[in-house]
Amino acid sequence: MSDLERELAALKAEIEVHWRKYYIEDASTITDYEYDMLMQRLKAIEAEHPELITPDSPTQRVGGAAVSGFEEVTHKVPLQSLNDVFSEEEVRDFDARMRELFGDRVEYTVEPKVDGLSMSLEYENGVLFRGATRGNGVVGEDVTTNIRTIRTLPLRTTDATDELIVRGEVYMPRKVFEELNAERERDEQPLLANPRNAAAGAMRQLDPKIAAARRLDMTIFNLQLVNGKTFTTHSETIDFIASQGFRTIPYKLCRTIDEVIDRIHEIGENREQFPYDIDGAVVKLNNLTDRETAGSTAKAPRWAVAFKYPPEEKPSRLKAITIQVGRTGVLTPKGEIEPVRLAGTTVTNVTLHNEDFIAEKDMRIGDTLIVRKAGDIIPEVVGVDYSKRPNDAKKYEFPRVCPVCGAAAVREEGTAAVRCTGAECPAQLVRSLAHFTSRDAMDVEGMGMKACEQFVTAGVLRSCADLYTLTAEQVLGLDGWAEKSTQNLLASIENSKHAGLDRLLYAFGIRHIGQKAAQLLAKKYKTFDALLAANEEDIAEIYDVGKVMAESFVTWRNGAGHLIEQLRAVGVDFTYADDGGSDKLEGKTFVLTGTLSKYTRKEAEALIQHAGGSCSGSVSKKTDYVVAGEDAGSKLRKAQELGITVLSEDELEKLLSE
């Protein structure tokens, strides 16, 4: 070795020691500054001598260019799912089956079930070689570039075993999730729905730097394969994995079924103590030979079950009811509650839907609400604990004037919606602008809710058309806008003129006309002039548009002449750029369920719509196909009950290519 190679090896080894102390043992031995200086020296050497860069170098954790796509990986050892159980009785039935096979020698490990993204990691000669998603259990996707960004994962194991494969769960720590959402709220970006979705989204980023920004973590719960070593129990394998530098799942050994049940309850009652969200507890036979005897079905082992906890319901006091005014003028009530932890996040607000919802539950300020998360995502009110109602609690009177502009608020006949009638309501304008400039609409970068409020308050923008006459002087005159950010904003506004008719129709925020309907209208008529000339009956005949949408569009069209002319005058393009799609799936309705391995949900929907099909969020007799990914649940069961054709991702691709 040359002197430089020796220095490089020593530097890597030193950084590895400090990495392990900090990330695995929580016992840092040097300051952050000293660690950064070691990394800077390593980066400098590798920048000058790129031929010396190796896959296990600490610099490779957030390195490399974005990939163009993810390659398929066939797992050497299948990543099976688990059979779910929902009651103590089902756990005892599982125990009875195991004792019938193995008698009193039965021993279990009980572990928390992390609500994350299942992955396999492959090491060759001790060096991380590949990270792959579970996919369908047999075939997953190579996401090694993103796996390397997880700072707690060893790029090199303690023992240089020639082949090692482990399985674990990638997750976003709750603390990180809350910090990221606080940042996104300040920047007025859409909030992340939950830690699991955030982790899954990060793993599917083609640019590893974006994945690194999500600050993911991983815990290992299974040894899939190892050469040169033998073990008799699962607990021994977990201890071995921990000795190799991995974070591992905490387990407890239990000899009796009562001990198992007690541990399940203990995990559920103390779920807040874990850094990750959990949705259950996993009970596994500990003896590996007994596992082989018990065997597996095609999808799940017979020697393990996952006990799933019911959705958490907790009480919280209703402190206030506030009203938000949407872009169409609807007054929506929001309940401000005392902070409560639910499904891994702190909830401070709940939706109260509308005037009728509050009245039906006789909800009053000061009441104790029973709150849960619908699908562990959206906070909702289950009921009211009337026994804890304060003596001075008064019925809530829904406002009949807009809280923003003071105009009359009128309830529409036959609906629960109360709308502001103010033609120039600032709240409606702000939200209309935010919708008009949003990513799925005209995609004007830099025009978040905060900027929209700022421009409306300053009187710079009085309509969506004013965007296109905005000057640098007007923007620079407002707080927080520098020359560079102003130039970027104006360039993005200029680019948005060519977003296309489908995006423009969606951007207008016409009632009942969402993205899908906007695409159908644009694809059918190609130009806005042709759409303006169409009569209501012709529009209604378009598949998946119908009478209500047609009426809504015509009503809007009759009053939007001035806005349309303003946009034409500033050069906004009113034509549809044909994307080359087909109509082979026209008239066919799809429902997507479960976690897809090859596409995001949005990508799969785009492929279906590109071929003329439509996507729905619920299964009904009108559904033609259900595309089922990993962990498909109630929608898959309903499809099977109704006799609806169920497709895998491969079958969907085949259908699209025919």
Q: What are the backbone dihedrals phi and psi of residue 525, each rounded to the nearest 5 degrees, phi first? A: -100, -15
Q: For Cα atoms 483, 484, 485, give the angle at the middle one, nearest 5 degrees.
A: 95
For residue 574, give the 3-state DSSP assignment.
coil
Contact 167, 219 (CB under 8 A): no
Q: DSSP readout, 434-487?
A: HHHTSTTTT--TT--HHHHHHHHHTTS-SSGGGGGG--HHHHHTSTT--HHHHH
Q: What are the backbone dihedrals phi and psi of residue 340, each rounded to the nearest 5 degrees, phi first? A: -145, 140
Contact 304, 350 (CB under 8 A): no
Token readout for 588 is 């066919």
Q: What are the backbone dihedrals phi and psi of residue 474, each rounded to the nearest 5 degrees, phi first? A: -65, -40
From 12, 21, 76, 113, the catalytic residue: 113
For residue 424, give the 3-state DSSP assignment.
coil
Give residues with Cβ within 8 angstroms of 349, minimum separation 6. 334, 335, 336, 337, 379
Token readout for 87 is 């009651």
Contact 335, 343 (CB under 8 A): no
For residue 164, give the 3-state DSSP assignment.
strand
Give residues with Cβ within 8 angstroms of 528, minimum separation 6. 501, 504, 564, 574, 575
Is 113 a residue of the active site?
Answer: yes
CA–CA separation, 295 vs 291, rounded Å? 6
- How many other CB atoms are there within 10 angstroms of residue 526's CB atom? 14
Residue with tokens 């002449």: 561
Residue with tokens 């990180």: 176
- How many other CB atoms are there within 10 angstroms of residue 645's CB atom? 12
Contact 584, 632 (CB under 8 A): no
- How many other CB atoms are there within 10 angstroms of residue 209's CB atom? 15
Question: What is the layout of strands, in order, in the sheet containing 645-647?
Answer: 614-616, 589-593, 625-628, 645-647
Instruction: Return the amino acid letter for 84.
Output: D
Task: Pinpoint the alpha helices (H) of 206-337.
Answer: 208-213, 234-243, 257-269, 288-294
Token readout for 597 is 């391995």
CA–CA separation, 516 vs 505, rounded Å? 10
Catalytic positions: 113
